[in-house]
Structure 1
Amino acid sequence: MPKFGIGDRVSFVPGKYDNNITRGVYTVVRAMPVTNQGYQYRVKSLRDSHERVIDEVQLASAS
């Protein structure tokens, strides 16, 4: 079961090799199909409106 839904605000929790990804709060735009690594989401940065796909394990609730 996905942890986040469309419109949820989430914080990106960077991994060891994620130096190029903007930190901060994102809004979930849509859930992506499940992969071998689990759930993924298309998220949009509140800071610069950039969209990217991020694994669920790298997201935390930003409420």
Structure 2
Amino acid sequence: RVPTQIDWFILLKSFSYRNRFYAQFARAAYITLIQLSVKRYFLTFSSLLLSLCDLHLTPCQ
């Protein structure tokens, strides 16, 4: 059976829908990864700042 124009249209539509779903999933995963790395960086940075503050505050007390 030779695929008609409608078959190609349905195939293209389902393919584009699947691609859109994959793109949204990839974007969500990418955003989550960025948030996790930023959070980890912020935590290490804040702990470093706290340790520096502790070092500076200890002689004063």
TM-score by length of 2: 0.15
Largest Rg, 1 or 2: 2
More helix by share: 2
TM-score by length of 1: 0.15
More strand by share: 1
